[in-house]
């Protein structure tokens, strides 16, 4: 079983579509191992996205990610990382395939409704970032 970190981003919580996204997660056969509503500080967002710190969109992204509530989830499934990225679709909603969450609910390349880890090591790092066991 693989694990991945999913985030329902502030644009989606503001649109009141947490339920629709969680429904899709369950329909797709993922097991929700952890789930928590959170409000990230800008510093938490900066730490989470540190890999992008040299990109032009980093400041705006971190401001956006701390602009409202998010839902943090750990999803389990065979090939969870790859499968969740397929369900999300491409980063830019305009490029995402029909039927994907970002195509359905994304507003822009920044405000694209959901996050998913991109590899096994990053998934474990991201899960530990938010769900470190005390």
Q: How far is the CB of 117 from Mg ion (least distance, A)?
A: 8
18 binds ligand IDP (CB under 6 A): no
22 and 12 Cβ atoms separated by less than 8 Å: no
- Compute the distance between CA of residue 14 and CA of residue 4 in angstroms, rounded to an integer: 23
Distance CA 67, CA 80 (A): 28
41/95 with CB nearer ligand IDP: 95
The Cα 92–Cα 79 span in angstroms is 23
DSSP designation for 97: P
Query: Between residues 31 and 95, which has the closer beta carbon with respect to ligand IDP?
Result: 95
Q: Is 115 a catalytic residue?
A: yes
Residues 95 to 124: which contact ligand IDP by CB under 6 A? 109-110, 112, 115, 118
Asked if 57 interacts with ligand IDP (CB under 6 A), we say yes
- Residue window 95-124: x/- pattern of binding to Mg ion, with contact defined by CB under 5 A: -----------------------x------
- Whether the CB-CB separation of 118 and 51 falls below 8 Å is answered with no
Q: Which residues are catalytic?
A: 115
């Amino acid at each position: 079983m693989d694990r991945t970190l999913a985030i329902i981003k502030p644009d989606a919580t503001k649109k009141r579509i947490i339920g629709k996204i969680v429904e899709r997660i369950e329909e797709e056969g993922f097991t929700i191992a952890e789930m928590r509503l959170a409000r990230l500080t800008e510093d938490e967002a900066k730490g989470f996205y540190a890999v992008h710190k040299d990109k032009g969109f980093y400041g705006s992204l971190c401001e956006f990610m701390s602009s409202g509530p998010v839902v943090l989830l750990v999803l389990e499934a065979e090939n969870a990382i790859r499968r969740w990225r397929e369900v999300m679709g491409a980063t830019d909603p305009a490029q995402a395939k029909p039927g994907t969450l970002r195509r359905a609910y994304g507003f822009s390349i920044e405000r694209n409704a959901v996050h998913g880890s991109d590899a096994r090591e990053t998934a474990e790092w991201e899960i530990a970032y938010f769900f470190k066991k005390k």
